């Protein structure tokens, strides 16, 4: 009965909290994608149920294993139990945490293997290959915008938003005996 009550408390908080990926991986993005109660429960399962230890973890960083397991639990959680006959995997975009997105993007960038992504998707560890293609389509759209405007500018740049710029020389002057020319240019960065 205690386990049932603990699961109900954690699930209630999980389904009340919404996390959406904004396309950036900031410092605490993994921790922000899971609820504190879920993270505390997973930490207690992994490290033992020591209240003093949990209080220390709340004030400092948490373990990577606890963040990984917590994100996979959020990603794979469903409000209603799946039927026994159902073989399809259903994931809500509201429940997509950064780990499944990152795994798919990283595997695709390194191996370009649809089979590997499909295998990890069937194990419910990453997003599907079709979802990955949707994400890469968005990124390709940003690159096409850069090519069309002939300038690389942050997509979030707009009027009224604080922007800082930095300008510096780019000088490359090869000093080898076979070098035929050098490059001199200017780099401009907007943040």
- Distance between alpha carbon 160 and the CA centroid of its chain, in Å? 28
pLDDT above 70: residue 171: yes
183 in a structural domain: no
3 in a structural domain: yes
pLDDT, residue 110, reads: 92
Q: Tell me how many domains the chain contains.
A: 1
Domain that holds residue 66: 1-82
pLDDT, residue 120, reads: 93
Q: How many residues does the chain have?
A: 191
105 in a structural domain: no
CB contact burial 125-144 (16+ within 10 A = b; e otherwise): bbbbbebbeebeeeeeeeee
67 in a structural domain: yes
pLDDT above 90: residue 107: yes
CB atoms within 10 A of CB 72: 20
């Amino acid at each position: 009965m205690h386990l049932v009550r603990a699961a109900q408390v954690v699930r209630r908080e999980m389904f009340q909290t919404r996390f959406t990926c904004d396309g950036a991986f900031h410092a605490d993005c993994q921790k922000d994608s899971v609820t504190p109660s879920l993270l505390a429960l997973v930490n207690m399962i992994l490290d033992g149920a020591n209240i003093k230890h949990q209080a220390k973890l709340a004030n400092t960083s948490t373990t990577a294993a606890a963040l990984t397991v917590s994100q996979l639990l959020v990603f794979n959680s469903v409000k209603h139990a799946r039927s026994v006959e159902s073989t399809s995997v259903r994931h809500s975009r509201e429940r997509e945490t950064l780990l499944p997105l990152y795994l798919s993007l990283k595997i695709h960038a390194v191996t370009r293997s649809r089979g590997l992504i499909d295998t990890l998707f069937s194990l419910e560890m990453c997003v599907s290959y079709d979802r990955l293609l949707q994400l890469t389509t968005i990124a390709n759209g940003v690159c096409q915008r850069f090519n069309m405007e002939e300038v690389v500018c942050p997509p979030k740049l707009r009027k009224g938003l604080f922007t800082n710029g930095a300008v510096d020389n780019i000088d490359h002057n090869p000093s080898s005996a076979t070098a035929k020319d050098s490059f001199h240019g200017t780099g401009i960065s907007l943040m």
